[in-house]
Amino acid sequence: MFYPEELVEEIRIKNDIVDVIGSYVKLQKKGGSHMGLCPFHNEKSPSFSVSSSKQMYHCFGCGVGGNVFTFIMEYENYTFVETIKYLAGKAGINLPEVEYSEEAKKQAGLKNRLLEINKEAAKYYYYQLKSNRGQAAYEYLKNRALSAETIKKFGLGFSNKTGDDLYQYLKHLGYEDSILKEAGLFSFDEKKKVYDKFWNRVMFPIMDVNNRVIGFGGRVMGEGTPKYLNSPETKLFDKSRNLYGLNFARIARRPNILICEGYMDVIALHQAGFTNAVASLGTAFTGLQANLLKRYTGEVLLTYDSDEAGTKAALRAIPILKEAGLTVKVIDMKPYKDPDEFIKALGADEFTKRIESARNSFLFEIDVLEKEYDLNDPEAKTRFFNEVAKKLLIFTEEIERNIYTQTVADKYLIGFENLKKLVNRYGAQLIGGQVPRSKESGVEGKRKNVPEDGMKQSQKILLTWLIEDTRIFDKIQGIIKPEDFTEELYKEVAQMVFEQYKTEHTVTPAKIINRFESKEEQNETASLFNMSMNHEMSDMEREKALNETVLRIKKNSLDLQSKMAIENNDILALQSIIKEQADLQKLHISLHDG
């Protein structure tokens, strides 16, 4: 940190989170919290909760959460230091001049220096595109029907055929080799020769949501390989955590976001007016990208290529997006391969019609599955319906499952009751512990995750209880320890919670959030303290629920320890664990005794 922890905490305390957020978002008191429309994603019903007692916010819709610092950083696009200065000014606190060590200066400045290098590289590539040497690349982009305005908006450029001209340019600006090695733009060989990683390529600057260049993609001119080349992982660039075009799409104010396969698809869609298009960066779609999208929308439309590879990519992305809580639809672009071809052939109005008729993702999966079977063959048709029945089990709500069952039954002219019986039969196998093997891993994978998700829920509930009722610390002393939380982040947070209670005899969740740097960890930490609790439970019901939660967590912890002891042939540890397991049978925590 740039400032002492005590000073940071004083600034946080003097900026009440309800007052600060209330100056940005209209909040209404509801029970013990204040509710409003989330400023980080589009919604019609308030799901954004701000707690005065916890000094935290949490959105039950998109999952974003944190304290007063993280809110200002996210909303105003401030750095932590800028946020500290802003909130200190609001509270009338004078900040001291801080002297930094050389190492601290070096670390603090590294990312900024890399951002400077990327910005200069993007400017250089853009200049080269407009020069005589970039004429062929410029013609290529014009032939792809891109306007000069679009080329400028996306900062498209060209990397020359010569081997080190970008390197020489950046050296001329005063950047030393030690920092250039970190940029991911150059190759340094054993003979101390340096080569530009990108040469003879049309260049696509990759920007983060704050419009800062964090990496590049390059499309080769001619027949070279690979056709597309991305920057390697750097301190700025992580392909799994970013999406091309999201810096524009997040402010498009559309009800959904379009996901494409490539840069040119995104650019073509933006030029045609669909400014809500993004693309993954040459890697398989990831959960981190899905969670990133969840911050800005509740619905995504897949516009992947209509060939076999694109279909497979869509099938892989659908469960990941659904797991993040997003509604997913699939756009049919046939007879064209991708959005770029479609727009050129039929125009924006026709693409709008395809958006409006986008296919429900589950029904799209059924359509793809159907192609694997000859429905004129009774045997193949029977196998198809069995696979469909297994897939219908992903819907855990009976009403939703029945609606989809009815839709499938109507399409394939099979009686609703017949298909429902088949679904129920496989459902009974699940309850009985027999997992029906589906050709898609969805049903099997979902079943495997049930116990883990249940345990996560229990651990979240206990952490929320601990901060809301600190009496419980004394009740579970000697029973539950931070090590009993099996998720790594939960365990780390639990250690902070227990330590804070031990030293301060209170727990301040907002203070704990300060210990994490990444937005993902801050969001998840906030969610650990915001489990929905039924505050209308009677004392007896609350006590019963607490006992069941503690027992579940401890039993899970001991089971894992027991397996490890067996694997390590540790007899003494196993004996101790067996005794603890026996003692659990007598466990009873009372909330009424002293």
Q: Does residue 85 sit in helix, strand or coil? A: helix
176: helix, strand or coil: coil
258 CB-near residues (< 8 Å, 6+ apart): 249, 269, 274, 276, 277, 278, 300, 301, 303, 331, 339, 355
Name the residue type at position 503: T
Confidence (pLDDT) at 434: 56
Q: What is the pLDDT of residue 202?
A: 96
- Rounded to the nearest 5 degrees, what angle is found at the Cα of 136, between the Cα atoms of 131 and 142? 95
Q: Return the residue matching tokens 């660039």.
A: 237
Go through the domains of the chain in sequence order and give each one's CATH number.
5-91 (3.90.580.10), 109-237 (3.90.980.10), 246-365 (3.40.1360.10), 373-438 (no CATH), 448-584 (1.10.860.10)
In this predicted structure, what is the pLDDT of residue 162? 82
pLDDT number for residue 253: 79
Q: What is the pLDDT of residues 194-244, one digit of tens each?
A: 999 999 999 999 999 888 999 999 999 988 788 989 999 888 888 888 899
Ranges of the chain whose pLDDT falls below 70: 1-2, 42, 77, 98-108, 282-283, 430-453, 532-536, 592-594
- pLDDT value of residue 302: 96
Q: Which of 395, 399, 390 is nearest to 430 (CA)?
A: 390
Cβ distance 248 to 279 under 8 Å?
no
pLDDT tens digits, one per residue of 153-166: 999 999 998 889 99
469: number of Cβ within 10 Å: 14
